[in-house]
Amino acid sequence: MSVRTISTQPFTDQKPGTSGLRKKVTVFQKPHYLENFVQSIFDSIAAPGGATLALGGDGRYYNREAIQVILKMAAANGFGKVLVGRGGILSTPAASCVIRKYQTFGGIILSASHNPGGPDGDFGIKFNSSNGGPATETVTEAIFARSKVINEYRILDAPDVALDEIGETMLGAMRVQVIDPVSDYADLMESLFDFAAIRNLLAGGFRIKFDAMHAVTGPYAQEIFVKRLGAPAGDVINAVPLEDFGGGHPDPNLTYAHDLVEALYGDNAPDFGAASDGDGDRNMILGRKFFVTPSDSLAVIAANATLVPGYRKGVAGIARSMPTSAAADRVAQTLNIPCYETPTGWKFFGNLMDAGKVTLCGEESFGTGSDHVREKDGLWAVLFWLNILAVRKQPVETIVRAHWAKYGRNVYSRHDYEGLPAEAAQGVMKHLKDCFAELPGAKFGKYTVRFCDDFSYTDPVDGSVSKGQGIRIIFTDGSRIVFRLSGTGTEGATLRIYLEAYEADTSHHHLDAQMALADLIRIALGLSELELRVMRNKPTVIT
């Protein structure tokens, strides 16, 4: 087996987005495309000779091929050992768990998360650091800079490694250890939650439904819910992972998790429903005929954290991404703990967790997690809810309504316009910025603009500054409209409008969010001239 040094030309489009590099599979299949990016990672992270790497992905189309390339390149770049999930599988939170548990130098995770898979779908790759979390912007910028000048990569000339059995093989001088992708993660969950209480809840007739959306969480959910917690096998649906997610869109929201939504809103509905995404880091929580927004979910988890064994000692602080509603801020205020507002992207939470400033983090984009790993964690959120339900013995809806009664309700919705021409979408953002000077003090019905800006964040731990993170229009009563361009799409531009209105009056809490936000929606469309500029008359997805 010899190391080959291959000459290559840089690609100009390897800038990591909100969460790593995401492109169409066909782009990754271009000669040298994947290899260039992997070498750019290795050239940027300065791993010591003989270092250990974790490696795995969500099992989507091209996962297996990419794993083999990365193994051979890791061997050629002086790594001593790679821990790889059996079959090349590791959910994103499980990868974070493995990096932390075995103290590896870092890990490479292959996933395009909630984006569709298959030969015409999406693929993605990102590097996570030794804390188990996504590389910081400093690192991703270094990787991008390297990708623009790279002229060669190194790869071992060797046959493919067998990945379907647990065990060890040598690839040149590098050891490849194939590990069970589920057990370390399931053990970690069992150490945090009261499995006995949840088992009793399920044995007592409480019915759940978990939708794995034919993505990576199927085997994890079967191990945890069916094997360890005693749920009937039929409670986990779409449990077999498929390379194309069965043609579906593995995004756990009310639009795409339709099998689950039908079950929870149908006759004889289960008591609790949940879904996770392509790589297992997102979650959606449903009660019987009741949707819990991700922002509310974070707030309820924070308010009830001490009911859960792993969090009995309390929560040091909470962090949420800027577009996420301020529901968690109200809990933090009551608990007298800090609440941090970061840009969109889980990578911004890592420093805060490492410094012990926060325990819980959450995002409106169906992401919730804690410092048990450094990724958001879908099944963790589901177990957190089940643990709360096992203790409180009340329906999901009752718990959320009681929460609103105590803290007020941050009515919330996100409207996405997907697949827009990039120029038109950028035109909307520019137009909004051009309005900044005249907006403060402007009145729109009952709303008066307090201030507007393009959100900028200074990391309180390392002082790094991230600018241009979304346009905020904040009204005097705390209501907000936020405009942002997504950093995870692969086709055209996706423009997101985030809408939030605070409602203290309990007699209004029953209102449908779209109705309660109707005025803000009108203001957002009027101010942005969006419909005219992008030629659309309705959002693609409303969550």
DSSP letter for each residue of 32-56: THHHHHHHHHHHHH-PPTT-EEEEE
**CA torsion, ordered 260, 264, 265, 266, to nearest 10 deg:** 90
CB of 91 to ligand G16, least distance (A): 11
Residue number with CB closer to ligand G16 (39 or 253):
253
Q: Does 133 bind ligand G16 (CB under 6 A)?
A: no
Q: Does 344 bind ligand G16 (CB under 6 A)?
A: yes
CB of 350 to ligand G16, least distance (A): 11
CB of 378 to ligand G16, least distance (A): 9
Q: Does 487 bind ligand G16 (CB under 6 A)?
A: yes
Residue number with CB closer to ligand G16 (217 or 321):
321
Q: Does 365 bind ligand G16 (CB under 6 A)?
A: yes
Q: Contact with ligand G16 (CB under 6 A): which of 81, 86, 100, 282?
A: 282
Token code pair at residue 356: 């012990």
CB of 398 to ligand G16, least distance (A): 29
**Which position has the token pair 């298959």?**
118
Residue number with CB closer to ligand G16 (8 or 18):
18
CB of 494 to ligand G16, least distance (A): 7
Find the farthest-apart pair of alpha carbons in the chain and give their distance in angstroms, rounded. Answer: 73
Residue 147: which of 39, 66, 274 has the closest Cα? Answer: 39
Q: Contact with ligand G16 (CB under 6 A): which of 200, 394, 486, 540?
A: 486
Q: Which range binds ligand G16 by CB under 6 A, 80-88, 309-317, 340-348, 454-462?
A: 340-348
Output b/e per residue, 481-512; b: 16+ Cβ within 10 A.
Answer: bbbbbbbbbbebbbbbbbbbbbbeeeeebeee
x-or-dash string of contact with ligand G16, 367-406, rule CB under 6 A: x---------------------------------------
Token code pair at residue 493: 């531009």
Beta strands in 99-173 (DSSP E): 106-110, 122-128, 152-157, 167-171
Residue number with CB closer to ligand G16 (128 or 488):
488
AA letter at 68: Q
Q: Contact with ligand G16 (CB under 6 A): which of 43, 363, 371, 459?
A: 363
Tell which phi-psi region holds residue 49, choosing left (phi > 0), alpha (psi between -120 and 50) or beta: beta
Q: Contact with ligand G16 (CB under 6 A): which of 273, 345, 362, 369?
A: 345
**Catalytic site residue 365?**
no
Residue number with CB closer to ligand G16 (254 or 402):
254
User: Which residues inside 232-251 make contact with ligand G16, applying CB under 6 A?
Assistant: none
* CA separation for the pair 230, 222 (Å, rounded): 10
Residue number with CB closer to ligand G16 (282 or 403):
282
Residue 17 DSSP class: B
CB of 142 to ligand G16, least distance (A): 19
Q: Does 466 bind ligand G16 (CB under 6 A)?
A: no
Q: Does 209 bind ligand G16 (CB under 6 A)?
A: no
Q: Does 324 bind ligand G16 (CB under 6 A)?
A: no
Residue number with CB closer to ligand G16 (35 or 122):
122
Helix axes 183-192, 378-392, angle to 10 degrees: 30
How many of the chain's residues bind ligand G16 (CB under 6 A)? 18
* CA separation for the pair 94, 185 (Å, rounded): 5
Q: Do 222 and 93 contact (CB within 8 A), yes or no?
A: no
Helix (H) or strand (E) segment spanning residue 185? helix 183-192
CB of 380 to ligand G16, least distance (A): 14
Q: Which range binds ligand G16 by CB under 6 A, 40-48, 143-151, 264-272, 362-370?
A: 362-370
Residue number with CB closer to ligand G16 (409 or 414):
414
Q: Does 26 bind ligand G16 (CB under 6 A)?
A: no
x-or-dash string of contact with ligand G16, 499-528, rule CB under 6 A: ------------------------------
Residue number with CB closer to ligand G16 (143 or 231):
143
Q: Helix (H, G, I), strand (E, B), or coil: what is residue 189? A: helix
Tell which phi-psi region holds residue 470, choosing left (phi > 0), alpha (psi between -120 and 50) or beta: left
Output b/e per residue, 325-356; b: 16+ Cβ within 10 A.
Answer: bbbbbbbbeebebbbbbbbbbbbbbbbbbbee
Residue 139 to residues 207, 355, 537, Cα–Cα distance (Å): 45, 19, 40
Q: Does 18 bind ligand G16 (CB under 6 A)?
A: yes
Angle at the Cα of 329 from the Cα atoms of 416 and 437, rounded to 5 degrees: 60
Cα 179 versus chain centre, distance = 24
CB of 348 to ligand G16, least distance (A): 8
Name residues whose C-beta falls within 8 Å of residue 238's C-beta, 6 or more positions apart in sequence.
Answer: 211, 212, 213, 214, 218, 246, 248, 259
Residue 388: which of 206, 184, 188 has the closest Cα? Answer: 206
Q: Which range binds ligand G16 by CB under 6 A, 192-200, 254-262, 341-349, 533-541?
A: 341-349
Helix axes 294-303, 378-392, angle to 10 degrees: 50
CB of 321 to ligand G16, least distance (A): 6
x-or-dash string of contact with ligand G16, 292-321, rule CB under 6 A: -----------------------------x
The residue annotated as part of the active site, out of 19, 40, 113, 370, is 113
Q: Does 419 bind ligand G16 (CB under 6 A)?
A: no
Q: Does 113 bind ligand G16 (CB under 6 A)?
A: yes
Q: Does 56 bind ligand G16 (CB under 6 A)?
A: no
318-321 sheet: strands from edge to edge: 339-342, 318-321, 360-363, 367-370
- Find the radius of gyration of the CA atoms of the chain: 23
Q: Which range binds ligand G16 by CB under 6 A, 65-73, 95-103, 207-215, 274-282?
A: 274-282
- Residue numbers at the binding site for ligand G16 (CB under 6 A): 18-19, 113-114, 277, 281-282, 321, 344-346, 363, 365, 367, 486-488, 496
Catalytic residue numbers, as ranges:
113
